[in-house]
Amino acid sequence: MQNVPIRSRRPLSDPDAFYRNYVSLRDPPESLDRKTLLLTCIYKFARHEWVGITAAWEATPSLANSENLTDKISRYHLAEEFCHIRLFHEMFRTMQLDRVEWVPLGPIMQRVYRFLPYLPGLLLDAPAFVTELMGAVFYRHLDRAFDDIFADEPEARERLRALLREIAIDEVAHVGQRRNFLGPVGILYARLLMVPIVRAFFRDIPESRLLFDVDQVIRDGLDFDYGLVTSDMMEQSWVPSYCCTGPCP
């Protein structure tokens, strides 16, 4: 995609508004146009992912030092997540935003993300599953938003969609991977965590309330089914066999 770049026909109406608000919202969100709101929302979502996977990478054994298959799978999983940040970054370049920097979160949230990877699996696996599921659901809502918000930029819109699709293919597989760590009690625990985790996450992204129905994101997470994933994506992703209603891809 970098070798065949696609750029929007015109820059944002006020690029300075994006740069002023993408790390931390400084202007009233109602004063920003929807393109700017969506792009700052994407950055904040991806920024949390970047901080979280960086902390997990530091806490996870390298492949050479991995003692079991689970550690090796986790290492590959995190490598895929880092690729997502490159794909998100290309989204901003597609919209002629070439000065985006990845900035750490505040000191409290940085400590929280550094602490989480050291929790025992009993406490970590369910919230980790919820965050992957939240991502898979959010990307579906984001894909639908592209049609409306970038209707006047068809080429750029389809490039944004193609970049998002690469991320979503991995995310669907990560949902299945995390599901493997959960038994019946873990699934119940995850369902209980869905509402507070999603609400807390999007509370830190104030633009989201003007763009998405967070309650619907929660409902979609609780009702998630692989049958909702398009067949072409399923062919390129991975699903546990016990989650398939028919032959798995």
Q: What is the mean pLDDT of residues 165-182?
A: 91
- Diameter over CA atoms, the chain: 53
Task: Say yes or no to pLDDT of 39 above 70.
Answer: yes
Task: Say yes or no to pLDDT of 242 above 90.
Answer: no
What was the pLDDT predicted at 55? 93
- Alpha-carbon span 35 to 92, nearest angstrom: 11
Task: Say yes or no to pLDDT of 249 above 70.
Answer: no
What percent of the chain lies above the pLDDT cut of 90? 75
Instruction: Please tell me what DSSP assigns to residue 31.
Output: G
Q: Who's near 76: CB < 8 A, 6+ residues apart?
A: none
What type of residue is 1? M
Token pair 């991977």 in the structure block, residue: 177
pTM for this prediction:
0.93
What type of residue is 118? Y
What was the pLDDT predicted at 26? 95
Question: What values do phi and psi take at 111, rounded to 5?
Answer: -65, -40
What percent of the chain lies above the pLDDT cut of 70? 97
What was the pLDDT predicted at 138? 96
Report which of 181, 171, 143, 163 is spatially closest to residue 236, judged by C-alpha positions.
171
- Alpha-carbon span 81 to 71, nearest angstrom: 15
Task: Say yes or no to pLDDT of 199 above 90.
Answer: yes
C-alpha dihedral sign at 203, 141, 191, 181: negative
Instruction: Please tell me what DSSP assigns to residue 27.
Output: S
Q: Which is higher by pLDDT, 236 or 193?
A: 193
Q: Do residues 169 and 230 touch, judged by C-beta distance below 8 A?
A: no
The counts of H helices and E strands in the chain are 10, 0
Which range, of 115-124, 138-147, 195-204, averages the lowest pLDDT?
A: 115-124
Q: Which two tokens stand for residue 173?
A: 């597989």
Q: Do residues 156 and 96 touch, judged by C-beta distance below 8 A?
A: no
Q: Which is higher by pLDDT, 240 or 186?
A: 186
